[in-house]
Amino acid sequence: MTLGDILDPSTIVIDLKAANRWEAIDELIDCLVRAGKIQPQHRDSIVGVVRKRESSMSTGIGYGIGIPHASTDLIQDVVGALGRSSKGIDFDALDNQPVTLVMLFLVPQGQFQKHLHTLADIAKLLHRKEFRQALEQAPDAESMFAVIKQNAASK
């Protein structure tokens, strides 16, 4: 499963309003609800699971990247949302730098291998400087998604 399989233009937020990681998580989960990937009645439970995971250790991995993630039994398939921040978000990142790209994903409960592989694939892709720059320069969600599809296929 690639990043291109998890995302589509409806799950990309081109201008996150969030000032911190908690607001970014809320904003991206709201995006998944709007896109029909999460049931509205499950929103608060899913926010709680992601926040609990994020509280144990920040997923700000450096290079301006945050990858909040969690497992939940409230979804059937891996789902995700990508957000871009022009001003940067305080994510308590490993390198203490603001985060400009936040990739939130959720994996169905009990699919530990899929969870690890998805996390590894996303991290590997986002560690590529040219890929991050292309995402940061894309004018809209469709262009960002095109960059993702092109790069996910060529990893």
**Digit-coded pLDDT (tens) for 92-128:** 998 999 999 999 999 999 888 887 888 888 888 988 9
Distance between CA atoms of residues 58 and 97, nearest Å: 13
Could you say which DSSP state residue 10 is in?
A: G
What residues are labeled active site?
Answer: 69
Q: How far apart are CA 37 and CA 41, in angstroms?
A: 12
pTM attached to this predicted model: 0.94
CATH of the domain at 61: 3.40.930.10
Residue among 84, 129, 130 at smallest CA distance from 103: 84
Count of structural domains, the chain: 1
pLDDT band at 153, cuts 50/70/90?
low
Q: Domain of 68?
A: 3-153
Q: Residue 130: which residues within 8 A CB-CB, separation 6 or more?
A: none
Q: What pLDDT digit, counting tens, does each position of 75-93 carry?
A: 999 999 999 999 999 999 9
Kindly state the tokens that stand for 68.
């909040």
